[in-house]
Amino acid sequence: MLLIQSQHKAPKNYLLRKQQDRKRDLLPMELKSEPRLIRKLEKKLRKANQTIDTLESQLTAERELHVKYKSKCKSLRHKISKFEADKTVLTISVTACRC
């Protein structure tokens, strides 16, 4: 049985990666994992920024509702106090008429 060896050469980018891996193997462990840590931290930062954006939008919506309903509450309080005043006037006039 004959084994034919191919004359195929590895692509250049593969060889470059191998060289980079060899250089990387010489680095201390902290430096090897640094790019991965940076990516993870960037991902966490993006998530935190998205959360901040959503919370800010919810806060502005709640503030708008607060202002809207606060003005409505003022008018309702005014109407209630006016109604209470009219009610006392009516009860006084009704009791005066009965006498």
In a domain, 64, yes or no: yes
CB atoms under 10 Å from CB of 17, counted, come to 13
**32-62 pLDDT per residue, tens:** 677 888 888 999 999 999 999 999 999 999 9
Residue 18 lies in a domain: no
Q: How far apart are CA 94 and CA 84, in angstroms?
A: 15
Within a domain: 1: no
| Structural domain range at position 55 | 25-98
What DSSP line would sit under the chain, residue for residue? -PPPPP-PPPPHHHHHHHHHHHHHHTS-HHHHSHHHHHHHHHHHHHHHHHHHHHHHHHHHHHHHHHHHHHHHHHHHHHHHHHHHHHHHHHHHHHHHHH-
State the total domains in the chain: 1
Does the reported pTM lie above 0.75?
no
In the chain, the percentage of residues whose pLDDT exceeds 90 is: 23
